[in-house]
Structure 1
Amino acid sequence: MSEFEKLTDKINLIGSPTENEFTENKWELFENTNGIKFPAAYKNFINYYGTGCLCELIWVLNPFSNSKRFNLLSYLEDKKKAFTTFEEITKEKYPYSLFHEGKGILPFAFTDNGDTFYWEITSSKSKEYKILLFDGRELLIEEYSIGFSELLLQILNKSLKTNIINKDDIRGCNFNPLSV
């Protein structure tokens, strides 16, 4: 059984998915236009579940979402503004560069607590990336060398070693699709 199959067995889908079922051609066009190769498990997740909230805490960004708040590229633009503001206020350089021209960190999910998950992309040819979790309240960053599905499984199982996500905030294994 693949990690993605384990994930779908674990998650209870509440309602009907929205903004899902994208063709391989649509993914390929998006990836080629933006200089990124998404992990297969991420594309499978978006194609299966679409846009919505996992365990009443985590919102997985969707590159095709019509909602600015949940659209991956719109979220990236908002983060660029936040990084610039941070650097202007603190006079410090942020420890990572945001995704640009095939390299940098790319957000793929966020929590209701303001934490953000990123892939660290060092090459536009790679399909698997290190995962970074940024604390939304302080400059705390955790690194994970696991895949997308494994990350979500560990969160749902409350076995992810983290000082950022409070295990009490993880409520169930439900996925609630975004109402459109």
Structure 2
Amino acid sequence: MNSSLARLVRLIPPPSAPREKDWESVEQALRAELPSDYKELTQAYGGSHWDGYLYLLEPGCCNDNYDLIEWAEQQTEALEGLWEFERKPTELAERGSRVVPWATTDNGECLYWLVRPGEAADQWTVMVNEARGDRWEHFPVTCTEFLVSVLTGELRSGILSSLFPLAVHEFRRLAPM
């Protein structure tokens, strides 16, 4: 277990039954290897809702609205169209750089991995995009480190809701629609 996940488990214990995934099939569908911390995170918590605000996307999520593979396809298409009219974040200036979603919020903000050419999945960092605008933030941490650091107040985002995190954390695993 990575150190960020260990911190998260101490903060919010995961449900008792881990969710096993066929990661090879997931990565084939995404045409990309995924970070090992994300795999551990989703195996422990699954598709989930954190503090009534943030949704962790999961491949094959029982709630289709939060399926990682579908989100990746939709966001790739949406961003390609958007960047015909809006400026890309400077972090995506390097040819071959892209973003892949891993979480979203009740307000529509999207949390992405920043994927750069030649960079291993375990080196991917986090980018946050506001719901209805062109503001982006970059955080040089893994997704699990981002989640635990936001929940503990060690890291703050100017884009995510000021009401997040809650003083008393809430966690629920997503259920089928």
Structure 1 and Structure 2 fold alike (TM over 0.5): yes
2:115 to 80, 98, 121: 121
| 1:129-169 CA-partner distances (Å, limit 9, x unpaired) | 02100011221100011122210111111231321123323
Q: Which has the larger displacement, 58-67 or 73-82?
A: 73-82
Contact 1:119 1:132 in 2 (8 A): yes
- TM-score normalised by L of structure 1: 0.80
One-letter amino acid matched to 2:34: F
Work out whether 1:82 is the aligned partner of 2:78.
yes
What is the distance in 2 between the residues matched to 1:150 and 1:36?
21
Indicate the percent of aligned positions where both proteins have the same amino acid. Answer: 22
Q: Helix, strand or coil: the match of 1:167? A: coil
Q: Higher relative CO (CA 8 A, sep ≥ 6), structure 1 or 2?
A: 1
1:3 aligned residue: 4
CA 33–125 in structure 1, closer or farther in 2 if over 3 Å, else same: farther
| 1:69-106 CA-partner distances (Å, limit 9, x unpaired) | 10112112322343355356xx3454477xxxx96210
Gaps (5+ residues) in structure 1? Answer: none
One-letter amino acid matched to 2:98: G
What is the distance in 1 between the residues matched to 2:30 and 2:108?
25
1:168 aligned residue: 163
Work out whether 1:109 is the aligned partner of 2:103.
yes
2:145 to 143, 150, 168: 150
What is the distance in 2 between the residues matched to 1:141 and 1:94?
9
Contact 2:114 2:124 in 1 (8 A): yes
